[in-house]
Amino acid sequence: MTLDRFYPIFDTPAWIARMLPLGVRLVQLRIKDRPDDKLRTMIAESQALCRQHGAVLVVNDYWQAAIDLGCDWLHLGQEDLDEADLPAIRKAGLKLGVSTHDDDELERVLAIDPDYVALGPVYPTILKKMKWHQQGLPRVTEWKARVGDIPLVAIGGMSVERAQGAFDAGADIVSAVTDITLNADPEARVRDWIEVTR
């Protein structure tokens, strides 16, 4: 299955419900700091919405909940990778995407045969404090050469205007968060994203 080239990330099912009718086909649910029961409800709701619209839901971090709720895709950061039960994740048939920021992390991730590799932040990002400065487009090209046929996701400071540059540098997929959620008209922004990525 080929993943869509546009990969927005949202923190609530409400955002997902709002954007799926516009044609979003690949979306990540990234929830922080919620009690477990609330978390599972949010994942289940997002999964149902995505199935209804024929879209792919990627659950960030909560691998046990993703297994229990019969999800299809999981995204792990490097810290999550330390605690995750990879054999259980694979046994459940979950496909796995992983964040990378430097050479050591990339080597570590390639050793577990991921279903996509994310590189970030390509540009400066306001979303979270990171110890890595912007990677830049040459790094995207280098990463693509190293991951080969594995889909490469460019993330961090991405915008509609920067998407084509990331694709030209070798990214297969471009991921966006604040470019949509902080936009005055998120729906219009998503339509623009779909236009430049398809």
pLDDT digits (tens, 9 = 90+) for 53-77: 999 999 999 999 999 999 999 999 9
Distances 194 to 58, 92, 170, 175, 190 between C-alpha atoms, Å? 18, 31, 18, 12, 6
Q: What local confidence, expressed as pLDDT, does residue 133 receive?
A: 75
What's residue 128's pLDDT? 60
Q: Measured on CA atoms in the order 45, 48, 52, 54, is the torsion positive or negative?
A: positive
Q: Is 30 a catalytic residue?
A: yes
What are the boundaries of each domain within the chain?
A: 6-197
Using the CB atoms, write b or e for 13-32: b if 16+ within 10 Å: bebbbbbbeebbbbbbbbbe
Which pLDDT belongs to residue 131? 67
pLDDT reported for residue 125: 79
Residue 89 CA: distances (Å) to CA of 63, 68, 120, 189:
7, 10, 24, 34
pLDDT of res. 127: 64
The angle subtended at Cα 7 by Cα 26 and Cα 146, nearest 5°, is 110
Active site residue 91: no
| SS3 of residue 46 by DSSP | helix
Q: In terms of CATH, what superfamily is 6-197?
A: Aldolase class I (3.20.20.70)
Catalytic residue among 32, 128, 129, 131: 128
How far separated are the first and last CA of the chain, in Å rounded? 16
Residue 29, φ and ψ in degrees, nearest 5: -100, 110
Whether the predicted model's global pTM rises above the 0.75 cut? yes
Q: Which of 5, 30, 162, 189 is catalytic?
A: 30
pLDDT for residue 129 = 64
Give the residue ranges of the chain where pLDDT is below 70. 127-132
Choose, from 5, 46, 95, 99, the residue flagged as catalytic. Answer: 99
| pLDDT at position 26 | 98
In this prediction, residue 5 carries a pLDDT of 98
129 is catalytic: no
Q: Are 21 and 15 in contact (CB under 8 A)?
A: no
> Would you state the pLDDT for residue 130?
61
